[in-house]
Amino acid sequence: MKKIIILSIAIGILSLASFAAPKFKKMRKFPPNDDIEKKIDSLLALMTLEEKVGQMVQYNGFWDVTGPSPKGGNAEKKYEHLRKGWVGSMLTVRGTEEVRAVQKIVTEESRLGIPLIIGFDVIHGYKTLSPIPLAEAASWDLEAIKKSAEVAAAEAAASGINWTFAPMVDISRDPRWGRVMEGAGEDPYLGSKIAKARVTGFQGNDLSNPLTVAACAKHFAGYGFAEAGREYNKADIGTVTLHNMVLPPFKASAEAGARTFMTGFNELNGIPVTGNDYLLRDILKKEWGFDGFVISDWASIEEMLTWGYTKDRASTAVRAAEAGVDMDMEGNIYMEELANMVRTGKVKEEIVDEAVRRILRVKFELGLFEDPYKYCDPEREKEVIGNPEHIEAVKDMAKKSIVLLKNENNLLPLKKKEQTIALIGPLADENNSPLGSWRLGSDDSTGVSLKTGLEKYSNNKIEYTQGVKLITNQAEFTKELHINTTDTSGFEEAKEVAKNADVVIMALGEHGFLSGEGRSRTKLDLPGLQQELLEEVYKVNKNVVLVLQNGRPLTINWAEKNIPAIVEAWQLGSQSGNAIAEVLYGDYNPSGKLPMTFPRSVGQIPIYYNHKRTGRPVDPAPGEEQVFWSHYIDEENAPLYPFGFGLSYTEFAYKNLQLAKKEIKKNETLKLSVEVSNTGNYDGREVVQLYIRDLYGSIIRPVKELKGFELIPLKKGETKTVTFELGPKELGFYNEQGNYLVEPGEFQVFIGGSSETSLEDSFFMVE
Ligand code: BGC
């Protein structure tokens, strides 16, 4: 028996001899019919321990940093490790030349020539930028979102990249947290649909297609629940919230075939997620059968030490590897500690082998072993990047992401002729801020500003003044608000310009860099002097359209009360100004719906629509003195704008909610339908939303949960019947052990154009 084993190993090694030589060209001689697992077996058999650990190492390139900078000039060390084949991946290396350069070193100079997988944060586009992900989520348009990911993938892949650190699928209920701009908002159902759209958009159906990239669902898991919305903070949540709210979009990503997952910086209930066997091994790798690989976040392995979870670097490396982190992002801890830990028996070599197998698997799937330079064609790079089709796609996405929050007296759409429009605000002539955060691959100041968009759009007279200044000076920029807090000298001119205008457009909000990683806020008002400016201008002209550009929900109570028209225009990417102009002039009728609740006050946070009811939910009758119910004494419970809310220039009416049955069995599916009519004066698109409420259960269920939606175009005067189905997948929930239960009982259903819809009915589920 022993002999047979030795013999087969020898045969394996012999058959590999042809590609064991250092050069990439020889690597191609994998037996053509062998499947990927066999190829991995043969390669693993040739690798030294250092080479294996090396595959688990990701280094940042020598150019951009997205985390704390590596100390000192360590480029030489990185080059040396590349030459030795001790590096499996690099991040933020981009452009066909840069990528070719590093790929050449590993494939031609290292012993086995294993190509690198090249990762990059392609978050909302590469060069041609889409809206920030939160804005895209507001479109509820899964096809458009998928298309946007396809565009991003094509441009990134043409520029040498084969792996994006996206989608970020962290559910968050806390707009103080700057990274809400990167996700799909607060709802796990919508978040799961969008996760799937993004993963399939990035990866297509064939990873070896040179216009696709591997996706990475991040940050696994719970990062969006950072306490107090403070970046990198702990996240204490119960298992019910974990399973029902946090994990679904990750599960959807795994089911959609996301080839990689990233852990987060956070701990979850006392255990850093980067060292969390339950999440990584039990749920992701076992229960969900995920066979791609897991990368840490930037130095998050090392940070387990800082958290006080591990005692030294060596045991930290062991902890992460055992928990199931396959690759160490720029932490150097696997590189420095792991091989030694294997040698001294502190961690089994099989753990390393398994991690390497996962990494090599994705590299094979990408086709990197056939041609490590397949993403490095400068001709394709020129053709693909900035392609007119891409510009059209991101503009389309941008229009669809806009949410109309208020439109009193039909102030919008604007008249196209003979109007004098005052355009005021620090973000009006901005071509950098609309690009938003996370756009490393694109060039600064390449967005279309609102001013440019409006000027191109009609012959109306545009009178522009900034009102308050934007701070672009780098030194002052770090003060974070980016908008002047002291200088009111522009107010008079703003009022002068506003006074004589037919309509005033106020372009206010947050600079694009005010949200994103490391940008938590304690206040959610308009930063700097913008609120004062708005109030001053309103004094001289009431016809104000507030165009908000921001990366998170804001508390704009005064504006909601006073300003007749409010347009949520987020940070819309390269085509921002063109898209907003088209919507303001009514050539695109806004159809976006909020993917995240807008609070009235920071004190209400966390505020979200799918909350539980409490034992004292009753709002007393007006005038009745009541203290002992779940409320605030200085603010309403209700949000400023609820989840799912968004207006249109037309009106939609809902009627005839029909349930096929009033009683279903546990495994049955209930069919529902509703009639939706466009009763206004414009063609439009409506997001028809279906919510349920499970009235009682072994675990208290939320007051409402989104369980279906459909985006339908409706012409003026048109009526359509929209149908939905509710089955065990929609009607069950996870209990505190993470088991999925479908419990008989009574359910309410609600259908309409927001989470505060009033059309409702109910049915029973029986055993
Ligand atoms: C972020 C990740 C990102 C990584 C690489 C980290 O700081 O948390 O989301 O992918 O940097 O840039």
Cβ(452) to ligand 1 under 6 A?
no
Cβ(218) to ligand 1 under 6 A?
yes
Residue 219 alpha carbon, nearest atom of ligand 1: 9
Maximum mean pLDDT: which of 57-71, 462-476, 656-670? 656-670
Q: How far is CA 248 from the centre of its chain?
A: 14
Any residues with CB less than 8 A from the CB of 540 and at least 6 apart, and which? 495, 498, 499
Asked if 37 contacts 342 with a C-beta cutoff of 8 angstroms, the reply is no
Q: How far apart are CA 395 and CA 139, in angstroms?
A: 13
Q: What is the CA radius of gyration of the chain?
A: 27
Query: Regarding predicted confidence, which is higher, 411 or 24?
Result: 411
Residue 264 alpha carbon, nearest atom of ligand 1: 8
Q: What is the pLDDT of residue 20?
A: 38
Catalytic residue among 297, 326, 328, 694: 297
For ligand 1, atom 6, name the residue with the nearest CA: 298
Q: What is the pLDDT of residue 480?
A: 55
Asked if 222 contacts 264 with a C-beta cutoff of 8 angstroms, the reply is yes
Residue 511 Cα, ligand 1 centroid: separation in angstroms? 20
Asked if 242 contacts 199 with a C-beta cutoff of 8 angstroms, the reply is no
Cβ(686) to ligand 1 under 6 A?
no
Residue 165 alpha carbon, nearest atom of ligand 1: 10
Residue 92 alpha carbon, nearest atom of ligand 1: 12
Residue 216 alpha carbon, nearest atom of ligand 1: 10
Is the model's pLDDT at 65 over the cut of 60? Answer: no
DSSP, res 695: -
CA end-to-end distance (rounded Å), the chain:
56
Residue 763 Cα, ligand 1 centroid: separation in angstroms? 46
Q: How far apart are CA 195 and CA 142, in angstroms?
A: 10
DSSP, res 328: E
- pLDDT band for 621, please (50, 70, 90 cuts): confident
Over residues 364-390, the mean pLDDT reads: 97
User: Residues 380-417, buried b or exposed e (16+ Cβ, 10 A)?
Assistant: bbeebbebeebbebbbbbbbbbbbbbbbeeebbbbeee
Residue 166 Cα, ligand 1 centroid: separation in angstroms? 10
Residue 358 Cα, ligand 1 centroid: separation in angstroms? 21
Q: How far apart are CA 359 and CA 175, in angstroms?
A: 35
Cβ(120) to ligand 1 under 6 A?
no
Cβ(330) to ligand 1 under 6 A?
no
Length in residues, the chain: 767
Cβ(67) to ligand 1 under 6 A?
yes
Q: What is the pLDDT of residue 64?
A: 58
What are the structure tokens assigned to 335, written together? 């590189």
Residue 168 alpha carbon, nearest atom of ligand 1: 9
Q: What is the pLDDT of residue 147?
A: 98
Query: Regarding predicted confidence, which is higher, 455 or 620?
Result: 455
Asked if 445 contacts 513 with a C-beta cutoff of 8 angstroms, the reply is no
Asked if 755 contacts 638 with a C-beta cutoff of 8 angstroms, the reply is no
Cβ(517) to ligand 1 under 6 A?
yes
Q: What is the pLDDT of residue 481?
A: 64
Q: How many CA atoms lie within 13 A of 515 on its CB side?
A: 34
Alpha helices in 290-443 (DSSP H): 303-307, 313-323, 333, 339-343, 349-366, 378-384, 388-401
Any residues with CB less than 8 A from the CB of 300 and at least 6 apart, and which? 263, 264, 265, 272, 273, 274, 329, 331
Segment among 30-39, 164-173, 599-608, 702-711 with least mean pLDDT? 30-39
Cα-based distances in Å from 639 to 495, 555, 557, 560, 599 = 32, 10, 10, 12, 5
Q: How many CA atoms lie within 13 A of 125 on its CB side?
A: 31
Q: Is the dihedral of CA 616, 619, 620, 625 positive or negative?
A: positive
Is the model's pLDDT at 598 over the cut of 90? Answer: yes
Kindly state the helix (H) or strand (E) to which residue 38 belongs, with its residue range: helix 36-46
Alpha helices in 418-556 (DSSP H): 450-457, 474-477, 491-499, 530-540
297 in catalytic set: yes
For ligand 1, atom 8, name the residue with the nearest CA: 297
Is the model's pLDDT at 475 over the cut of 90? Answer: no
| Residue 654 bridge partners (DSSP) | 676
Over residues 283-308, the mean pLDDT reads: 98
Residue 66 Cα, ligand 1 centroid: separation in angstroms? 6
Residue 83 Cα, ligand 1 centroid: separation in angstroms? 26
Q: What is the pLDDT of residue 188?
A: 98
Cβ(165) to ligand 1 under 6 A?
yes
Pocket test for ligand 1, best of 165, 263, 302 (most atoms within 8 A of CB): 165
What are the structure tokens assigned to 342, written together? 């294997």
**Cα–Cα nearest to 437, from 91, 129, 150, 176:** 129
Cβ(298) to ligand 1 under 6 A?
yes
Tens-digit pLDDT profile for residues 411-432: 999 999 999 999 999 999 999 9
CB atoms within 10 A of CB 269: 15
Residue 406 Cα, ligand 1 centroid: separation in angstroms? 36
Is the model's pLDDT at 493 over the cut of 80? Answer: yes
Any residues with CB less than 8 A from the CB of 330 and at least 6 apart, and which? 58, 59, 60, 67, 70, 91, 298, 299
- pLDDT band for 767, please (50, 70, 90 cuts): very high
Cβ(297) to ligand 1 under 6 A?
yes
Residue 562 Cα, ligand 1 centroid: separation in angstroms? 40
What are the structure tokens assigned to 707, written together? 């369980």
Pocket test for ligand 1, best of 64, 233, 297, 440 (most atoms within 8 A of CB): 297
Over residues 558-569, the mean pLDDT reads: 98
Residue 654 — φ and ψ, nearest 5°? -110, 130
Residue 442 Cα, ligand 1 centroid: separation in angstroms? 17
Cβ(66) to ligand 1 under 6 A?
yes
Asked if 528 contacts 554 with a C-beta cutoff of 8 angstroms, the reply is no
Report which residue type is found at 314: A
Over residues 110-130, the mean pLDDT reads: 98
Q: Is 531 exposed, middle or buried (0-12, 13-18, 19+ CB in 10 A)?
A: middle
**Cα–Cα nearest to 657, from 671, 638, 669:** 671
Over residues 203-209, the mean pLDDT reads: 96
- pLDDT band for 29, please (50, 70, 90 cuts): low
For ligand 1, atom 2, name the residue with the nearest CA: 297
Q: How far apart are CA 168 and CA 362, in angstroms?
A: 20
For ligand 1, atom 10, name the residue with the nearest CA: 165
3-state secondary structure of 728: helix
Residue 182 Cα, ligand 1 centroid: separation in angstroms? 11
Query: Regarding predicted confidence, which is higher, 205 or 331?
Result: 205
Over residues 276-284, the mean pLDDT reads: 98
What domains does the chain contain, in order, with CATH numbers? 65-105+118-362+377-381 (3.20.20.300), 401-590 (3.40.50.1700), 652-766 (2.60.40.10)
Cβ(170) to ligand 1 under 6 A?
no
What pTM does this model have? 0.95
Q: How far apart are CA 499 and CA 501, in angstroms?
A: 6
Is the model's pLDDT at 54 over the cut of 70? Answer: yes
The torsion region of residue 704 among left (phi > 0), alpha (psi -120 to 50) and beta comes to: beta
Residue 440 alpha carbon, nearest atom of ligand 1: 12
